[in-house]
Amino acid sequence: MQNEQLQSFFRGDYMPHGHCYLWQPHILWTNVVADLVIAASYFSIPIAIMMFANKRKDIGYNKVFALFSLFILCCGITHVFGIITIWQGVYGAHGIAKAITALVSLVTAIYVFKLMPNALAMPTIQQFAGVRDQLKAVSESHSSLESQLKNSGVFKFMIEAMPLGAVLVDDHFNIQLVNKTLLKDFGFSSEALLGKPLSYLFTSDGHEFEKLQQALKTVVEDNPMSSQSLILKGKSKHGDGIPIEVSIVKEHADGTAMILVSIKNLTHFRYLENQILESHQRLERAISATNDGIWEWNIATGEVSYSPQLMILIGQEQHIEHPEFAHWKSHIHPDFVELVEFNMQRHFDHGEKYEVEYIGLNKKGEYGWFLTRGDTLFDANNKPRLMSGSLSYIEEKKHIQEELKEKQRYLTNIIDNAICGIFVFNFDQQTNTQINQRYTDITGYNMEDIATLPSLMELFHPDDIGKVMVHIEDVIAVGGNEVSALQYRLKHKSGRWIWCYSFDSVLSRDANGEPLEMLGTFIDITDLKNNADKLTESNEYLERFAYVASHDLQEPLRKITAFSDSLHARLVDELEGDAAYELDRLKDAASRMRVLIQDVLSLSKINVDSVNKQQLPFSHVLNQVQDNLSFLIAESQTEIMLKQDATIYVDSGLMTQLIQNLIQNSIKFRQADLAAKIIISIQQQIHTTLIQIHDNGIGMDSNGLQQIFEPFKRLVRRDQYEGSGIGLAISKQIVKVHGGTIHCTSKLGEGTQFMIELPNA
Amino acid sequence: MHSRVIHKILIVDDDQDDIYFFKQALSKVQGDFQLQHLRNGKELLEHITEHRLDNVSLVLLDLNMPVMDGWETLEKMASLSVKVKWPIIVYTTSKRAEDVGNAYRLGALSYIVKPDTIIELTKILQSTFKYWFDVVEHPMKKEGN
């Protein structure tokens, strides 16, 4: 049943409303269009309301806006149903829509009335504008306050950040405000100072505090903005004194006088000041410690600053406090003023070093050597502005220099006057870097000549150059300062050849041992060499002469012998008496002449070159002699005794000849009724060997002893003793070429002794 | 029966006395000799040029001579393209060992020092001839006896 009723309620087949209008188009469409426009309008209004509500959330009352929107939307829907019902009889649904609309309308109405008192309390637009203006004024005042607050913060920050202690005091000089710097400097906390009198920060003793009181008083009494500044000693929390600079400023603010005391801590400045002072004192000490004087000269103003030492040095001690340029200038010896000025001008004009040695008065008022040195500051126009430098008293140095110079001169003198030429040869430059005067005397070349020579090597004789090169290699090769000798020919500046005898050694070497310089000394041996050559030539000539002479002399002699012999053979039976005697004498003379010539010949042959020395026992020589003279010795019954043998250093042949000569001599000059007895003794000495040959012969007068070794000296008559008279001369010559000596002692009727001394080496 | 052999001897010496002595001595030596006298080395060299083929038994050469001395002569003879085989004996007054050595070095086959007397010379010649003509063999040796 209920279903039936429900079905009937929602049935759509009721008579459409159009029928009510009889489907009259004009009525029908008027209703339809009007409902359509109303519905459309009603649908759009809630959208506008919700948009507004959404944008103006500040208004609140969301429920009212929602109810109004729903109520209008529902009205729209009922109008749509109005249009539908014209053609479809859905009056049930139409009724429900109207019922919902009615419900919503009712709720809305109730809510609106409920809201009425609130709505009435809402300000009007005018009321709102007034409130807004008020608000603006309030906020402006607020921001002004804020800005003031901010300014105050900046001010506070500034005060705090200042590296300067600041104290604000009232007109009773009680502390109202302090900043951090001050607290830090003095070591107090803020609370400990606030309300305390300003004097709390100062030492109360002494007149310094009085000065502060005075200053404060002055500031207070004086005009506003007056300020006072003074340096005082502060007192820290721990009672230490702090050097401070205090400034006091007074200002009226809001009718009250405020006094700002700023306090600058000078401890650090004092430290710097001390440092500067100390450094200055150090400089002063340095200046006074040096023996040199220090000077400064302002050229523009003429002002000078001379160190006390300078004033003392130049003997102007009395003006030590107020030095003047003239003090220095007047100490210069008149003869040196020009020199000093010239050097100074040159220094100004060309920037050359200002360094002058001059003679001036010293502190004793005597003249002595000074050295001044300086440098100059020039201005933009290149004008000298400030000159400064030092002054030294160099008398002693000068003395030493003079002494050195004197020694140098002395050495140079010795070197120049040395008997030998001296040169220093530089291997790098391949030339002589130093020569002495004697070098020039010997060779003709001076240093200039040497410098212009293409090569020193050209001066050596072509035949000697190889020898010289080898010699230089040798000199380089030997270590130390060994010297080696060389003979060479050098071309004199005049073109002639000179013979030099040179000793050379390496003078200096580099770190690697390579030679840098060679020291050469040489003497001119040209004359010696020429003499030696002449002597050699003369000796050769003499030998040749002796040979040729002997040979040519023998030629006719041989013929005299031959012819006289032949004559004798032919006439042997016919010659008688005197004729036979004379022919015999002729033959005898010829044979003696022959011996003589042979002896002269052998004498001429004995020279140093013909000596060939060797070590041999003396007995060998003696045996040879005894062998050679065996017949003579046997015949004369001579006794020969060798006391002791020894080794001698001689030419075997010549020595045999010597000993043979002497033994022959002893036998020849034996006593008529006594067999010859010859005793030979030998003594070995350190450097020589002494051979003594003693006989028991006839001896001789001491007068004759000096002459026996001279050739052709005969002490006895020829008819008594045969001989050429040259035997002892030959003996002496043999000893001489051995480098030895021969002497003879003799006593008439007792015997003769020969002493031969020969070198052992 | 002896076949008669004549020895040709050349003496090269400028000294007339020595030539005289030599002749005197030679005359006392047994044998047949043909002696030819030349005064210096130059004459000897010319003689060689002309009579190279001659059979000369001995040449006695003095050393000390004018024009061309014995030394030069020996050197020249050694350098001849065709050498003669004549035995050369140096005949001089020099006893110097140096001269003796040089003489042999230059080709001399003997070296005789001139003696003081003719008797001595005669003895020397006798022994020399015996040696050269009888004892030794050499290209110029003449067959005889």
Interface predicted TM-score of the whole assembly (ipTM), two decimals: 0.76
Residue of chain B nearest A562, judged by CA positions? B117
- Who's near A319: CB < 8 A, 6+ residues apart? A311, A327
Residue with tokens 């003895």: B123
Please give the Cα distance from B69 to B65 (Å, whole number).
Answer: 5
Q: Which residue of chain A comes nearest to B115, CA vs CA?
A: A558
The structure tokens listed for A163 are 């590296």
Token code pair at residue A34: 């009007």
Work out the angle at residue A301's Cα, subtended by the Cα atoms of residues A298 and A306, and round it to the nearest 5 degrees.
40
Element housing B12 (H / E): strand B6-12
CB A166 within 8 A of CB A261: yes
In Å, the largest CA–CA distance within chain B is 46
**What pLDDT score does A112 carry?**
83
A663, A754 contact by CB (below 8 A): no
Domain holding B119: CATH number? 3.40.50.2300
Q: Running DSSP on this structure, what letter comes out for residue A89?
A: B
| Chain B contact set for A566 (CB, 8 A) | 21, 24, 117-118
The predicted pLDDT at position A417 comes to 81
- Alpha carbon of A558: minimum distance to chain B alpha carbons (Å): 5
Q: What is the pLDDT of residues A543-564, one digit of tens each?
A: 777 777 777 777 888 888 888 8
Which amino acid would we find at residue A471?
A: H
How does pLDDT run across A172-218, given as a tens digit for each residue? 788 888 888 888 888 888 888 888 888 888 876 667 677 777 777 77
What is the residue type of A597? I
Neighbouring C-beta atoms of residue B86, cutoff 10 Å: 22
* A463-502 residue pLDDT tens: 999 988 888 888 888 765 566 788 899 999 999 999 999 8
CA distance A640 to A186: 134
Q: What is the token pair recorded at A402?
A: 């003079």
Q: Tell whether B22 is covered by a domain.
A: yes
Q: How does pLDDT run across A627-664, given as a tens digit for each residue?
A: 989 888 999 999 999 998 899 999 988 999 899 999 99
Residue appearing with tokens 């100074």: A344
Task: Determine whether the interchain pair A565/B24 forms a contact, defined as Cβ–Cβ distance below 8 Å.
Answer: no
Is there a contact between A166 and A249 (Cβ–Cβ < 8 Å)? no
Helices vs strands, H then E, count in chain B: 5, 5
Within-domain flag for B1: no
Could you say which of B64, B94, B118 has the minimum Cβ distance to residue A562?
B118
Residue of chain A whose Cα is closest to the Cα of B21: A562
Question: Is residue B29 included in any domain, yes or no?
Answer: yes
Q: Three-state SS for A678?
A: strand
Strands A677-684 and A639-642: parallel
Distance in angstroms (rounded) separating the CA atoms of residues A545 and A601: 10
Locate A323 and state its tokens: 């030095």
Token pair, residue A594, equals 């022959």
Tokens standing for A693?
Answer: 């040959």
Nearest to A558 among B24, B93, B119 (CB): B93
Chain Cα centroid distance, residue A397 = 26
C-alpha distance from B110 to closest chain A C-alpha (Å):
21
What residue has token string 């040395």?
A418
Residues 6-45 of B with CB under 8 A from A: 15, 17, 21, 24
Q: Tokens 């205090």 correspond to what residue?
A: A246
Q: How confident is the model at residue A696 (pLDDT cuts 50, 70, 90)?
A: very high
Mean pLDDT for A337-362 is 89
Of B15, B94, B118, the CB nearest to A551: B94
Q: What percent of chain A has pLDDT over 70?
A: 94
Predicted confidence (pLDDT) at residue A11 exceeds the cutoff of 90: no
Residue B42 lies in a domain: yes
A562 vs B64, B94, B116: nearest CB: B116
Give the pLDDT confidence score for residue A172 in this predicted structure: 78
Give me A644's structure tokens: 């002791």
Q: B21 contacts in A (CB within 8 Å)?
A: 562, 566
> Domain for residue B140, yes or no?
no
Under 8 Å between Cβ of A266 and A281: no
* Cβ–Cβ below 8 Å for A565 and B21: no
How large a percentage of chain A has pLDDT more than 90? 15
In 3D space, the residue among A479, A526, A538 whose CA is nearest the CA of residue A505 turns out to be A479
The shares of helix, strand and coil residues in chain A, as percent rounded to the nearest 5, are 55, 25, 25
Which range is least confidently modeled, A121-130, A316-325, A511-520? Answer: A121-130
The residues, ordered by sequence, that sit 6+ positions from A428 with a Cβ below 8 Å of its Cβ are: A516
| Window B:106-145, CB contacts with A under 8 Å | 114, 116-119
Tell me the nearest-neighbour CA distance from B94 into chain A, angstroms.
8
Number of H helices, E strands in chain A: 23, 22
Residue B82 structural domain: 6-135
pLDDT at B1: 42
pLDDT level of residue A2 (50, 70, 90 thresholds): low
**Statement: the pTM of the whole predicted model exceeds 0.90:** no
Q: Is B144 part of a structural domain of the chain?
A: no
- B98/A contact by beta carbon, under 8 A: no
Chain B residues whose CB is inside 8 A of the A554 CB are 93
Please state which of the ranges A448-452, A454-458, A573-577 shows the lowest mean pLDDT.
A573-577
Helix locations, A453-525, DSSP H: 465-477
CB A521 within 8 Å of CB A471: no
pLDDT on residue A702? 76
Judged against a pLDDT cut of 80, whether residue A224 lies above it is answered with: no
CA–CA dist A84, A88 (Å, integer): 6
Question: Hey, what are A721's tokens?
Answer: 């003793």
User: Is residue A538 over pLDDT 90?
Assistant: no
A29-43, A105-119, A228-242, B85-99: which has the minimum mean pLDDT?
A228-242
Question: For the ranges A210-224, A293-307, A529-543, which has the lowest average pLDDT?
Answer: A210-224
Find the helix or strand (DSSP H, E) in which A485 lies: strand A484-491
Q: Which of A563, A595, A598 to mutate against chain B (most B CBs within 10 Å)?
A: A563
CB contact at 8 A, B129 and B87: no
CB proximity list for A408: less than 8 A, separation 6 or greater:
none
**Greatest mean pLDDT range, A144-158, A570-584, A691-705, B29-43:** B29-43
Tell me the pLDDT of chain A averaged across its residues: 84
Compute mean pLDDT per 10 residues along chain B, 145 residues long, and list them. Answer: 75 90 90 90 89 85 89 88 86 88 91 90 92 84 60
Q: Which of A544, A547, A550, A551 has the most B C-beta neighbours within 10 Å, making it the best mutation to test the interface with B?
A: A551
Evaluate whether residue B74 is within a structural domain.
Answer: yes
Task: Tell whether B47 is covered by a domain.
Answer: yes
pLDDT value of residue A586: 83
How close is the nearest chain B Cα to the Cα of A567, in Å? 10
pLDDT surpasses 50 at A36: yes
A742 compared with A572, residue with greater pLDDT: A742
Residue A520 zone, left/alpha/beta (φ > 0; ψ -120 to 50; rest) = beta
pLDDT at A716: 56
Distance from C-alpha of A229 to C-alpha of A217, rounded to nearest angstrom: 13
Q: Which residue in the block uniquely carries the two structure tokens 């190279």?
A: B52
Report the residue of B113, B116, B121, B124 to disrupt the A interface, i.e. the one with the largest count of A CBs within 10 Å: B116
Question: A130-158, pLDDT tens digit by residue?
Answer: 878 888 888 888 888 778 777 777 777 87
DSSP structure string for A231-272? EEEEE-TTS-EEEEEEEEEEEEETTEEEEEEEEEE-HHHHHH
Nearest CA in chain B to A560: B116
Number of separate domains in chain B: 1
pLDDT in tens, A206-221: 676 777 777 777 777 7
* Rounded CA separation A749/A276 (Å): 118
| Range of weakest confidence among A354-363, A386-395, A531-540, B107-116 | A531-540
Contact indicator for A307, A295 with CB cutoff of 8 Å: yes
User: How far lies B126's CA from each of B34, B42, B95, B119, B123, in Å?
Assistant: 15, 28, 21, 11, 5
A562 touches chain B (CB under 8 A): yes
Residue A395: exposed, middle, or buried by beta-carbon count in 10 A (0-12, 13-18, 19+)?
Answer: middle
Cα–Cα dist A295/A310, whole Å: 7
pLDDT grade for A690, boundaries at 50, 70 and 90: very high
CA distance A505 to A513: 14
| Angle in degrees, 0-180, between the axes of helices B118-129 and B16-28, rounded to the nearest 10 | 60
Residues of A in contact with B118 (CB under 8 A): 562, 565-566, 569
Residue A217: the pLDDT is: 77
Pairwise CA distance, residues A384 & A293, whole Å: 21
